[in-house]
Structure formats: C-alpha cells, structure tokens
Structure 1
Amino acid sequence: MEKATISSIQMEELLTTEETPTENYFSYKDNLIGSLLAIFGHLIISIGLNLQKYSHIRLAGTKDPRSYFKTKTWWLGLFLVIVGEIAVFSSYAFAPLSLIVPLSAVSNIASSIIGIIFIKEKWKPKEFLSCGLAVIGTYLLITFGPNSHEKMTGENIVIHLVSWPFLLYMLVEILAFCSLLYYYKQKNANYLLIILMLVALLGSTTVIAVKALAGMIIVSIQGTMQLGYPIFYIMFVCMVATSIAQASYLSQASQLYDSALIASVNYILSTTLAISAGAVFYVDFRHEDVLHLCMFALGCLIAFLGVFLITRNRKKTKAFEPYVAFNSMPGVISMHDNGSAVQPDFGSSFSYGALQSNDSLSEVYTPATLPVVSEEAASAYNALEHNKSE
C-alpha cells in the first residue's frame, strides 16, 4: 500500500513538472521593462541623430572651417546614438521579438517633435494627426503584444534553429532573396520595393540573431555562462554580416529615392517580416488568443499608417545648386558693392545698363538713326519710278 502511494505521489510530481516548464513563462513585468528600454533607446537615438544634423547645419551656415567631427555637438550626438543602441539591444533580452520590433515607430515620432526644437522645422496641423495615430498604434502594440518568454540558452536556440517550421521559413526566405537579387543585379530592376524587400529579408535574420545574443548575455550575467556555445559566435557573425548588407542596400536606395519614402516603406516591410520571423523562430504567439492577435494586428496597422503619414508630410529637401558670386571673382565689380553697378551707370537712377535713358550720353553711346526723307523728295522719287515702269 505504501509503495502504491509513493508511486502515485511521484507520478503526480512528474506530471506537475511537465505541465509547468521552467524555460517558458509569462511576465508582464519583463514586457514592460523591454518596452520601456526600447522606447527609451529609440528616443535617445532620435535626439542624437538630430544633434548631429544640427551640427552639420550650423557649420554649413557659418564660415567655420572646422570639420563636423571636430565639434562637441556631433560627438555628443554620437554618444547618445550608442547609448540608445545599447538600450534597444538590451530590450530584446526581456520582451518578445514581435513586440520590440514595431516600437521603432517611436523614433519617427520623436524625430518629428525634436526637429522643431533643434532644426526649427515647421509643423503643420495634419502632422499632429500622424503622430497621434503612431502613438495609438504603439499603445495597442504594448498592451496586446505577445507575452511569451523563454530563457535564451544555447540549447534552446539550437532547438529552434533546427525545427522544421524555421527551416521551411528559411528556405522560402532564401529563395525569395535570391530571386529579388537576380532581378536587381541582372535585370537592373532598381525599384524601391525590390531594394527594401532585400533589406527587410536581411533584417528579419538580424533581429533573430540580436535577440539570441542579448538573451544569452543576460543569462550569462545571471550566472549560467552561455558564451562557450558555438551558436553564440555564429549568431554574432550573422548579425554583423546582415547589418552590413542592409546598410549597403539602404545606401543604394538613398541615391535613387527620397529618404522620407524609404523610411516609411522600410519600416512597414522590415517590421512585417521581423514579426513573422519572431512568430516562426521564437513562437511568440503560441499562447495568445484571437482577441489579442486581432488587437495586435490593428495596432501594427495604425502604427504603419501613422509612420507613413509622418514621413509623407515632411518636405523634400531641395538639392544644393552651386553658384559663383560676382564678388568672389577678382576684377569683377559687384552689383551691390557700395552702390556701384555691374555696368557703368551714367545717371542718378538705379538701372541695369541698357535700361537707362541715353539722353545725356555722347554720340558713341547714342543709337544709330536712319536719315529723314522729306515729303517732296519722296513724291519726286515715286514719279521717277513710275516713268521708268512705263
């Protein structure tokens, strides 16, 4: 009897340990920490980038011979960008991938607001609506985002890496990337959608590697060393390689298309594919109900619309047209140089050369005139011509 009770107790303990795995858990606190880190990071990045832009504009508007990297403002902006990137990188270790990626909309909202302070950009009333939509979308993303967490150990990452859903996803992604690359390189199809699809496909791989690296570092800090696994260095190489490739394609796109259009389309495509990668690789939505999925999708759509309207409202910067000023060439008199004219001005009124009255000029400057023929001479000439014809 005692053996039967002992065996039943052991069986219950075994079932309870199987039903409550220690690797997967739910934590709204971790979601909040990750979301706040991502929002803070994108906000700091926006401030840093605007500081660097302000430094360039300030040097261009003055006769300061210094380069931009010799100014304190530019270095402060670079420092803030690095701090923001570290915060965004850390956020991937706390919250699901599908929640962190859409929060990059905060950078577009912050850039629109901060641009008014640093660069004195003008705001139109419709831009308030655009920022409001982006804020509402961000709120829905945080509220109804996935809440599935997993310790990023080396074993778990390898298990996800060799799972058949992810292998199938990678096969489709590789085929799509090779097809787009063929049309882009061989057929010279320099369409914006093709270039940014290449960027988005690379970006979905980048965020997978970033979350794996951030999670393994946090687990190592907590006491379980993960840096000895080869998968850590494989993910690091993958992150660096795909990031460099993304920067290359974005640079090529910026030479052909407007930067505001690139920002909005790239955000939509990259976020969509990154959410798909997180759902397949990390199974972010495995325990979510239909209501949360629908509200999360609605939040994504509203954020997409807000970012698109924000970037659309921005004025296109006019291309710089070089010119040569008259006073920059030696020997040429400037039109506004102490009242002297470009051409000699013989009168008291301000005129541009030939537009002036010529009454007081000498014969050299007077226009040529035809000889005046009297009426009698004209009638005699006409009679002579009539006699000749007869």
Structure 2
Amino acid sequence: MVGLLDEAEEIEKLKSNRDQNLIVGSCLAVFGNIIISVSLNLQKFVHLRNARKETQSQKHYTKETLWWLGLSLMGLGELFNFTAYGFAPASVVAPLGTTTVVANLFLAAIFLKEKIRPENVFGCALAIIGAFLLVTFSNTSEKVMGSYEIVRSLSQPIFIAYVCVEVVVLAALLILLYCKKVRHVLLYLLISSITASFTVISAKAVSGMIQLSAVGFSQWTKPVLYAMLAVLILTALIQIKFVNMAMKNHDATIVVPVNFVIFTISAILAGIIFYKEFYGMNGMQVTLFLFGCVLSFMAVYFIAVGRTGVSDGQKSDIQSHLVASDLIPSWLLANVNVGQVQPSGFVEHLKNTETDKIPILHAEALETIEELTEGSDKLDGDGDTMSVTSLDMLVDREKMGIGDSTRYGTTSGNTN
C-alpha cells in the first residue's frame, strides 16, 4: 500500500510541470516525424538510383549503405514518437504527424527534384496554423499512468464497451475484405485505424511505465507492462500490413491523406476514452482544438494534390485534377447530373476529317445509325425495324445538326 502511495506521489510530481511536458512531447513528435521523412526520402533515393543503373550493375537495396542509414533513421524517428506519448496527450501527438508530410514536401524537392505547387505551399501554411492550435488549446493535464491505474482503466465499463464496438466493426470489415472480396481503399484504412487505436493506448501506457521506472519506481515486474508491449507490437504489424495493401491497390495521393485523417480521429477517440484527455477542457478549448485537427486534415490533402510520383509531367497534371473526384462523389462537384447530359468515356480526334468536326454526340449517333443501316437488310419486316428511307432521312437530319433532344438530354435541337 505504501508503494502505491509513493507511486501516486511521483505521478503527481511528473504532472506538476504540465506545460513543460507538453512542449517536450510536442518537440519530440515534430523531430521524430522530420527524421522519419528524411529516412523515407533516403530509401526512395536509393531505389530510384538503383533503377537508373543497368541491369548488370544493379544491387539489391539491402546491400546499399544509404538504405540502411534510412532504415536506422526511421527507427530513431519512431523512438522519438514513442517517447512523445509519455509527455504529451495522444490527441496532440497523432495530429502532429502532418510534420512528416510537410517535411517530405521540401525534402523530395531537394533530393528527388519533385515539383512544389502553389496548393502544396498553401497546405504547409494550414499545417503550421493547425499545429499551433493543437498545441495551444490541448489539455495540459497530462495523465502518466502506473500499472495500477492502467489495470483500473482497462476494467472501466466505457472502455469495455469501446473495445466491444471496435471488435464488432473490425470483424465486419474483415468479412467484407476476405469473404465478400471488397477492395475499397476505406476498407484497408479502417482496419488499420481501428487497430491503431490500441497501438496508441498501449504505446502511451508502455511509455508512461518506462518513465516511472526511470525515476525509481520500477514497473518491470508488472505483467501489464508486457501485455501492453505485446499489444503494441501486434497492432503495429497489422497496421503496416493493411496500409501496404492500400498502397499496393490504390494511389498514394488517396491513401496518405485518408489514412492520416482516419488514424488521427482514431487516436483522439482512444485518448478521450482511455486517458480522458478532454476532461477539464472548456467548450472554447475543445472547439479550437478540433478546428486545428480539421486544418491539419486539409493541409495533408493540399500537400498531397498532384504528388503521384509519376515521372511524366502530363500524367501528373491529369492525376492532380482527379484527386478531388476520387475523394468526393462527382455529383457533389457538378451543378448538373453529368450522366444525364453526356455519355462517359474519352474521345481522341486523331484525324482532320469531316467526321471529326461533327460534335461528339452527333458522331456517336451517326455511328449507331450507320450500324443499323448496314444491318437493315438482315432484319425482318415485322414492323419493329426502320426502313432504309427513314434511316437515310435520320442521317440527313443528324448531319444538319437536328438531333433528338430527348435522347441526348439537350433542350434544343442544335447542340452547337
């Protein structure tokens, strides 16, 4: 009992420098994310350099010293992020992941010669404002939990209900993925983010217990420490698997922003439910904190626009225009229903002929009419077909620009 009281007193001492802990945790998260960005660009640089070599002179990337340096830096960055959970709330550390995207924008421009677009710079500005709001209006009453407090929090009814809901949703998503063969990007990322909530809880718990052990209150003999460590490793591996599956089947410009948004929401919910990180915050604090999160989400979207990693500049430009249509349904972006106005598809005019000058709707109609004309002699004369004379008249009407308004969804006969 005396040991528990001493541990509680030490926890209160760790909480006493709340503002200092918040600054330390935020700085650790920012530096860790910058280091991760450097590591990713180093590894990508090795892959690109190796791809430019001739087949005979190519080496496996694991034989490149620079690649191992990048991998080591990634481990160091993740260690910084892990340590940050011991000082700052999870609801602050997770949204600060925008630092990786911002740093990657400039590092890729320096090392990989990628373009920086105006919308990318605008996204960086949003990220800075969002990070400022997150740190300024977060809950400074950080909870550092010992083994006793962690066990007590694990047995709370609200957390048990939270786990049950997440397990049911996770089971439904896995059924859709493996039984129904659904391959939507949200499916992969929702599975990853649900497991990420347990990663955040366990990472913060392990980090806090290590912090207590460092000041003299050993947690190494507590079973809950090793249970949390096992959950941390298992859920981290699951995240890596499903994020990689999403990257394999979908474009990075979709995966990166969507994954960041869902992961951040999941981490904030985990912090609220398990660590009660919003307790004691007034309405203004909560509103501005959530506004900072929204700005961070928007920042990642604008930074990701047009960054497809395609060497062909023209293809990259096309992809940048398709990002919004991939994220948002087309009927929300249009003031009319496009499907009722013009058939979908791409048409290329490669020849300078008279038929190429005919509007696309008329050209399609003419092709259909010509097919009917060619096959008209094979049809029975039972009244269900048009005569050749009628077809000729319809062809003449189409050439003069007089079309069927009801068929093509136009309000006038002449589409020009």
Q: Tell me the TM-score normalized by structure 1.
A: 0.74
Q: Which has the higher helix share?
A: 2
Structure 1 stretches of at least 4 aligned residues deviating more than 4 Å after TM superposition: 20-26
Q: Which residue of 1 aligns with 2:214?
A: 221
**Matched-pair contact (CA < 8 Å) for 2:153–2:159:** yes
Residue type of the alignment partner of 1:95: A
**Matched-pair contact (CA < 8 Å) for 2:271–2:277:** yes
Give per-residue Cα distances to partners, 1:161-217, cap 9 Å, x unaligned: 111111111111111111111122211111111221111100011110000011111
Structure 1: any 5+ residue segments left out of the alignment?
1-16, 320-390
**Matched-pair contact (CA < 8 Å) for 1:148–1:285:** no
Q: CA deviation at 1:65?
A: 2.9
Q: CA deviation at 1:289?
A: 1.0
**Matched-pair contact (CA < 8 Å) for 1:23–1:150:** no
Q: Which residue of 2 aligns with 1:289?
A: 282
Verify: 1:188 aligned to 2:181, yes or no: yes
Q: CA deviation at 1:25?
A: 5.0
Change (3 A) 1:79 1:283: same
Verify: 1:28 aligned to 2:7, yes or no: no
Q: Which of 53, 62, 68 is matched with 1:62 structurally?
A: 53
Write the distance in 1 (CA, Å) between the matches of 2:180 and 2:311: 31
Q: What pairs with 1:115-264 in structure 2 (closer than 5 Å)?
A: 115-264=108-257
Change (3 A) 1:115 1:139: same
**3-state SS of paired residue (2:305):** helix
Q: Which residue of 2 aligns with 1:376?
A: none
**3-state SS of paired residue (1:313):** coil
Write the distance in 2 (CA, Å) between the matches of 1:116 and 1:254: 22
Residue type of the alignment partner of 2:239: Q
Change (3 A) 1:162 1:57: same
Q: Which residue of 1 aligns with 2:396?
A: none
Q: How many residues align?
A: 302
Q: Which residue of 1 aligns with 2:406?
A: none
**Matched-pair contact (CA < 8 Å) for 2:37–2:103:** yes
Q: Tell me the TM-score normalized by structure 2.
A: 0.70
Write the distance in 1 (CA, Å) between the matches of 2:300 and 2:12: 39
Write the distance in 1 (CA, Å) between the matches of 2:253 and 2:308: 9
Q: CA deviation at 1:242?
A: 0.9
Q: Which has the larger radius of gyration?
A: 1
Please report the RMSD computed on the Cα atoms of aligned residues, expressed in angstroms. Answer: 2.0
**Matched-pair contact (CA < 8 Å) for 2:120–2:304:** no
Q: Which of 30, 34, 41 is matched with 1:39 structurally?
A: 30
Write the distance in 2 (CA, Å) between the matches of 1:23 and 1:65: 53
- Identity of matched residues, %: 34
Write the distance in 2 (CA, Å) between the matches of 1:161 and 1:22: 24
**Matched-pair contact (CA < 8 Å) for 1:26–1:147:** no
Verify: 1:104 aligned to 2:111, yes or no: no
Write the distance in 1 (CA, Å) between the matches of 2:248 and 2:264: 23
Write the distance in 2 (CA, Å) between the matches of 1:255 and 1:58: 21
**Matched-pair contact (CA < 8 Å) for 1:34–1:92:** yes
Residue type of the alignment partner of 1:144: F
**3-state SS of paired residue (1:228):** coil
Change (3 A) 1:123 1:283: same
Write the distance in 2 (CA, Å) between the matches of 1:124 and 1:316: 14
Write the distance in 2 (CA, Å) between the matches of 1:235 and 1:83: 21
Q: What pairs with 1:314-353 in structure 2 (closer than 5 Å)?
A: 314-317=307-310
**Matched-pair contact (CA < 8 Å) for 2:51–2:58:** no
Write the distance in 2 (CA, Å) between the matches of 1:113 and 1:23: 37
**Matched-pair contact (CA < 8 Å) for 2:119–2:305:** no
Residue type of the alignment partner of 1:242: T
**Matched-pair contact (CA < 8 Å) for 2:251–2:308:** no
Q: Which residue of 2 aligns with 1:343?
A: none
Q: CA deviation at 1:316?
A: 4.7
Structure 2: any 5+ residue segments left out of the alignment?
1-7, 313-416
Verify: 1:311 aligned to 2:295, yes or no: no
